Structure 1
Amino acid sequence: MGQDKGKKPVSYEDIEALPPGWVGEIVAGELYASPRPAVGHLKVSMWLGALLATQFEMTPTGPGGWWFLTEPELHFEPNIVVPDIAGWRRERVPAPPDPETPWLTIAPDWLCEVLSPSTRTVDRVRKMPLYHREGVQHAWLIDPVRRTLEVYGRGKNGWVRTALYGGNTVIREAPFEDVSLDLGRLWTPGPSGTAHP
């Protein structure tokens, strides 16, 4: 379905008009706005981003070869999306752009969406196909409530789920198979204070 007659097309001004702290995205002509995520979402993003940046970007003795951004604004005209974490291979994009660059137009090689109740459907149904069309090679979906990680690789006609992990599993997964990732460290402790119920 197209735009309703007489309805003003959404634009970047609609994103700028959102309340402070809200994240706005435009996918297929629709504006999606979401509030700041909950603590479990934030912890997953922070820990995973820190691990990957430490091992693949900042440590001279690590595997290297990448640079990462948390919540980068990506413009794939006419779409505007904000994945939770994104990474670019240095062999393809040698360095991040100027620090004052407000958004990027080069698709990442890998990205991760941390699912929230308010964004789960948009992430899966609207954004994942867009990421595939733009040439992203690897995508991870993490659900901090269900404590799961879904790993997707690029297929010819769409994404192919190559793995599903849950709980406290230690994994090695593309494109970061050179480093072990303990999923148990991603999850926020429960009410009892234990990280692994």
Structure 2
Amino acid sequence: HPRPAPRHALAYSVLGGNIGGAYHWGEGPGGWWILDEPEPHLGGDVLVPDLAGWRRERMPSLPEAAWFELAPDWVCEILTPSTARVDRVLKMPIYAREGVNHLWLVDPELQTLEVYVLDTSHEKPHWLLLDSLEGDAPVRQPPFDAIEFSLGSLWDGG
């Protein structure tokens, strides 16, 4: 597939570093596997989110296969004009159906972050928008609310 545009690549590299440093590599709370472009196989659907995380209590070790049969606990999609429709219309309902509890949508063009949590109180699970952030707002959002970073770092790398 085509390589991501520089803004897209910067946003997901910086976000992965911010979260991965604290939750994956042990510079903070720990307890997560944070991976770039993993391949979860979810109920017959094969999806490749830009970033995904699994709590180590649910997945103590990485699978031997090149894909994951266990749904992530968190996914993040970095939106582009060519992927936004697929991410929102096709992937979000699959993530909800499969029980992914947290979803972040990052839009480098609009410089926004949308934070969703899965609501399972109804027959059909659906997403609730918890927060929308823009520009260089401080980010302290579930499931990674033990840390804070500047949303602006996703746009300028700083």
Give the TM-score, by structure 2 length: 0.93
**Superposed CA offset, 1:38-62 (max 9, x none):** 0100011111111111101112x51
Q: Tell me which of the two structures has the higher relative contact order, counting C-alpha pairs closer than 8 angstroms and 6 or more residues apart.
A: 2
For 2:21, the equivalent position in structure 1 comes to 54
C-alpha distance in 1 between matches for 2:146 and 2:42 = 30
Identity among equivalent pairs (%): 47
Gaps of 5+ in 1: 1-21, 23-34, 190-194
Q: Alignment partner of 2:54: what SS? A: strand
2 CA distance for matches of 1:66 and 1:144? 25
Structure 2: segments with no counterpart, 5+ residues: none
Counterpart residue number, 1:84? 50
Amino acid at match of 1:73: E
Letter in 2 for 1:36: R
**2:43–2:98: 8 Å Cα contact kept in structure 1?**
no
Shift of 1:78: 2.2
Structure 1 distance, partners of 2:14, 2:88, is: 22
Report the secondary structure of 1:87's partner residue: strand
RMSD, matched Cα: 1.4
Matching residue within 64, 73, 77 for 1:113: 77
Instruction: Summarize the alignment of residues 81-160 of structure 1 with structure 2, pairs less than 5 Å apart.
Output: 81-98=47-64, 101-156=65-120, 157-160=125-128
Partner SS for 1:165: strand
Aligned residues: 154
Kindly report structure 1 stretches of 4+ aligned residues shifted beyond 2 Å: none
